[in-house]
Structure 1
């Protein structure tokens, strides 16, 4: 199966720079959530954010050192998150379609619209991440196949 790729991030930013921005923003948000959980005394909640911290540290290392293997875990986990988001949208639409008096459709519709917009952005950034992974992997293969 062939996945789509893009030549640039956000139409004009180099893929490498876009990947670094994605990585650093994810690390910063994971640190904020980790520190926030510790400050609030919710250690179990905070511990969950160690995982993305490790994953996106590997992402940045992979970009800085041009090592596709370190990028792959981020591409896979982000793809899994994307699939879960799509299932979440489908679930919300099924709930919205069910005739239950306790469900207020006026409350769910804006939430579903926002969720769809966020999932569309999530999809685009996954395509950017996959494009970076593919480019670094191809560059490494081209370096290995060139005669010395």
Structure 2
């Protein structure tokens, strides 16, 4: 099988038919639109969702809640995960993603105080919990909000 021998399957590709070109074309008179009605007219037809005057489905269904477009999606990680870094190392959002702790940092990273930290590290991320900040500074590290 060569790429040069590939062909579309029979019937999948058809040329577009030009309608409204008289009786000799085999599709004259009403050009496939039928004799009367809204869809036979130029510009005819109804908008998407219109149900002939009946209350449309999107208006019949109840609406619940709302989506806050201004909210930020912050990724939480435990302080014990920072033990993967070396002593005295600077921990940033980029360093956390490179280590594979977080795949997608979204709008930022917050360090939570769950677990124990055994290494002195300088951390600069978007947010800290109070206990996480205390644990980092107790070991002589720095907790810096970016």
The interval holding the TM-score normalised by the smaller chain is under 0.3
Larger % of helix: which? 1
Output the TM-score relative to the length of structure 2.
0.19
Output the TM-score relative to the length of structure 1.
0.19
